[in-house]
Amino acid sequence: MRRPARLVRLALLPLLLGLAACADPVGEGEAPLEAGDPIAVKNGGGTTYMLHVGGICSYSFTNSSKGDGDARLGQWSGVESVNLEIDQTESMSTAVSQMIGHLDTYCTGEDECLLYTYSNGGAVISQALALTESGRWNILWVFGTASNEGGSEISDNFLAAPVTGLGFACRLADEIGPSDHRAGWNHNDTGGTLFYLLAGRDEWWYTGGVPDFFGGSANDGAVAYHSSGGLNDTYHISDDEPWLCYEPAYHFAGHQAAFTCEGRDLDHNAMKMAGIAELGG
Amino acid sequence: MRRLLPALAAGALALLWLALRPGPVDRPAPGEAPPSAAPGAPALPPEARREGPARAASAGRPGRAEVGRAVAAEESAPQATPALSPVEAYRRYAVHPPDSRPLDARQSDLIDWNRRHEAPRPDPDDPGVTILFTADRFHVVGDQTLSPVLDVRRGEAPAAVRVAESVVELPDGRRIPFTLAPQGEVHAGVVRPAELDLDGPARLAVRVAFDAGAGPRHARIFAHYTPAAAVPARFGAPLGDRVVDGSLEVAVELHVETPGLYLIDANLFADGRPVAWTRTKPRLEAGTHRLPLRFFGKAITDAGLDGPYTVEQLRGALAAPGSTPPTVQVPPFAGAITTGAHPAGDFSSAEWDAPEKRDRIARLRRLEARGGPVVTTPAWRDDR
């Protein structure tokens, strides 16, 4: 099953390269929402929000420097979905500062939040929680798909220059390597909020093959398992090991797999909407 | 981009080659041994490369054998994976509070908290050559130095390298040269940020240009520097320890220059064995403060290790979200603090209970009852 699937992927690679991996796949006929559009209802005394956070080089969940794409917000009964405007093109400090402002807006008092983060959005919420007072917000959980919380090797070291050719053409792409993200703050400090993580393992040949940014470790083309799985070190992981459910001691505190111990056989782009589908949105 | 275009031009050939090529994009069959870690750099710190849990177990490293057994059992007899609801997952997590939990030797991010994570990478044009550019730390404070290392290898052997330029790039655009010279099998240097005339925290870019025979190459790493003049606080003397509400409280002085939210972390050991970690985030005004560090009782009774305990890796920072860097470092406490000889039985084995825990459980239950988005997590292996 694996080899035919891989050959199909390989046949599509020129298209992937030509498009610079610009599209975020979603269902057909679904118009993307504008940033800040509310789409659901209130509950009781407070509102439950699902805050959507985009990835590297994005301005919101549905709008990135790669184009608007087809990303859409998830929709759930009794939950108001919000497309957070967070500038992830310049610096982590800008992004985290904006994230904190949004959390103050949506996640205090009677209101409460769930977070759906994609890629580097997982790092932004992690740093925001670690650098602020515990208990400041009512965040029930964070769902991170293809999370870059542990940093991406394609931002790292001497291979950084070609990264701009892979659709990561913004200044922040320089700041999101494993050393920056792992040594930069204490990831075990989530303020008691659990992180649910869905990881992808369908590599891109131009990051997992020639050259191999990930040293043979499982990855989705942009982030390795050690990051998307919330592991507490840059472990080398085979992608056919059910690695996501080893003992908690291998993970940041409060970080655990969502739905599966094996992740999904999807690439970084496809992972963006995969979690919403799995959450029934 | 320049390297990408030739790859695109050679697309058909490359695709054919990739389809037939064993390597990173070929996944081993189930049960097959996982691939080796990236080609290594033996002369460098072992932290430069990490292995997955199963490989570490098979290598017989202390403390990981049980993981190996779990993997073997899983492979021979696949089990259904019980799924936990958010309420149940949180209840299991919240046995200990979020700010003080058991410490395990595998939590290297908490014990070796300032280490870097660069790894050897193959040269883009010559896969037989691996390149590693790293250093000895990430945060640098006051008079501390940063020691960059460039290790280029062909196979296991060091490659001949000509360093064309090595500089530290500062936020104001200045480029300060430093020497990266042959030292054994690598090129090594020392950067002294205290000599860079910085008056505030800075993100330093350390860059090297070199040639190992395949053409000019550039590498860079970043480090966060807090100059002495910008140090926001300093640890003072230990102020004793006691049992408070079933937990261990160890106090230490903190002399604060800059008011704000402080992030203080420390680890507890008993006779060299890890016991618990703690994190406290007080908002402090300028002045001298008694800083209590609480190690949760159940974390200590879980370890079952009697005192005296030692508080190690005591470090801190002033939170500065919205700035680059986002923290201003406090010089780490030098050495360890030894506590009294408290038996483990002096501490409470009760689970954590607090209003915020009950509130979160209530909110999760309401969400579940309303039929909101449902996420589940498989149980940890050792919980099955």
Q: What is the pLDDT of residues A205-241, one digit of tens each?
A: 777 666 678 888 889 999 999 999 999 999 988 866 7
Q: Which of B1, B21, B219 sits opposite A164 (nearest CB)?
A: B1
Residue of B91, B109, B136, B208 to mutate, testing the A interface (most A Cβ within 10 Å of its Cβ) = B109
Mean pLDDT of B343-356: 97
Domain-located, residue A167: yes
* For residue A248, pLDDT beyond 50: yes
Q: Which residue of B has its CA nearest to A138?
A: B360
CA distance A68 to chain B (A): 23
Which of A78, A216, A233 has its CB closest to that of B24? Answer: A216
Reported confidence tier of residue B242, pLDDT bands at 50, 70, 90: very high
Task: Give the pairing type, strands B157-158 and B149-154.
Answer: antiparallel
pLDDT of residue A80: 97
Percent of chain B having pLDDT more than 90?
A: 71
Phi-psi region of B304 (alpha: psi -120 to 50; beta: other; left: phi over 0): left
Look over chain A and give the mean of its residue pLDDT values, rounded to a whole number. 81
Mean pLDDT of A57-66: 84
pLDDT at A166: 56
Query: CA B36 to CA A216: how far, in whole Å?
Result: 8
pLDDT at B330: 98
B263 at A interface, C-beta within 8 A: yes
Check which CATH number belongs to the domain holding A171 and give it: 3.40.50.1820
- Contact list, B221 vs chain A (CB under 8 Å): 157, 179
- Give the C-alpha separation, B250 to B255, whole Å: 16
> Residue A41: is its pLDDT beyond 60?
no
Number of neighbours of residue B14 by Cβ within 10 angstroms: 20
Residues 6+ apart with CB under 8 A from B240: B250, B251
Q: Which of B93, B265, B381 lies closest to A186 in CB terms? A: B265
Q: Which of A179, A223, A225, A227 to mutate to test the interface with B (most CBs of B within 10 A)?
A: A179
The strand ranges marked E within B111-244 are 121-122, 129-134, 139-141, 149-154, 157-158, 162-169, 175-177, 181-183, 186-188, 202-211, 216-226, 233-244
Mean pLDDT within B204-211: 96
pLDDT of residue A205: 73
Whole-number pLDDT of residue A212 = 77
Q: Report how many domains make up chain A.
A: 1
Query: Does residue A30 have a pLDDT over 70?
Result: no
Task: Kindly indicate the confidence band of residue B70, based on its pLDDT and cuts at 50, 70 and 90.
Answer: very low
Please compute the mean of the pLDDT values over residues B199-207 and round it to a whole number: 96
Mean pLDDT calculated for residue range A45-74: 86
- Nearest-Cα distance to chain A for B92, in Å, is 10
The whole-angstrom separation of Cα B78 and Cα B168 is 52
CA distances, A149 to each of A181, A223, B83 (Å): 7, 9, 24
Q: Do B124 and A211 touch (CB under 8 A)?
A: yes
> B306: pLDDT confidence band, cut at 50, 70 and 90?
very high
Tokens of A94: 């800008």
Q: What type of residue is B112?
A: D
Of A192, A203, A208, the CB nearest to B94: A192
Q: Is residue A89 part of a domain?
A: yes
> Which ipTM did the prediction report?
0.84
Q: What residue ranges define each of the domains in chain B, with the CATH number in brackets?
A: 125-228 (2.60.40.1930), 231-346 (2.60.40)
Q: What is the pLDDT of residues B276-304, one digit of tens each?
A: 999 999 999 999 999 999 999 999 999 99
Residues in chain B with CB shorter than 8 Å from the CB of A254 are 93, 98
Q: What percentage of residues in chain A have a pLDDT greater than 90?
A: 61
- Average model confidence (pLDDT) for chain B? 82
Residue A177 located in a structural domain: yes
- Chain B CB contacts of A52 under 8 Å are none
Q: Averaged over A165-191, what is the pLDDT?
A: 88
Cβ-proximal residues to B58 (8 Å cutoff; 6+ apart), any chain? B68
Residue A126 has pLDDT above 60, yes or no: yes
pLDDT tens-digit series, residues B250-280? 999 999 999 999 999 999 999 999 999 999 9
Domain extent, residue A41, equals 37-278
Over residues B30-61, the pLDDT tens digits come to 222 222 233 222 222 223 233 444 333 333 22
CA angle in degrees (0–180, nearest 5) for B309-B311-B317: 165
Cα–Cα distance, B172 to B195 (Å, whole number) = 15
Would A169 be classed as within a structural domain?
yes
| Residue B222 touches chain A, beta carbons under 8 Å | yes
Residues 6+ apart with CB under 8 A from B75: B30, B31
| pLDDT of the residue at A23 | 30
Residues of A in contact with B368 (CB under 8 A): none
Residues of chain B in contact with residue A217, where contact means CB-CB under 8 angstroms, are 38, 52
What is B91-124 written as a DSSP string?
Answer: HHHTTS-TTEEE--TT-HHHHSTT------EE-S
Cα separation of A242 and A240, whole Å? Answer: 6
Q: What is the mean pLDDT of residues B66-77?
A: 33
Per the CB < 8 A criterion, the answer to whether A236 and A83 are in contact is no
Mean pLDDT of A120-146: 97
pLDDT beyond 60 at B6: no
How confident is residue A247, by pLDDT bands cut at 50, 70 and 90? confident
Strand order in the sheet with A48-53: A80-83, A48-53, A112-118, A139-145, A194-198, A255-257
Is B34 in the A-facing interface, judged by CB distances under 8 Å? Answer: yes
Domain-located, residue A20: no
**Beta strands A139-145 and A112-118, pairing class:** parallel
Q: Can you give the pLDDT at residue A174?
A: 86
Question: Across the interface, do B98 and A232 touch by the CB < 8 Å criterion?
Answer: no
* pLDDT, tens digit (0-9, with 9 covering 90-100), for B148-185: 999 999 999 999 999 999 999 999 999 999 999 999 99
Helix (H, G, I), strand (E, B) or coil at A248: helix
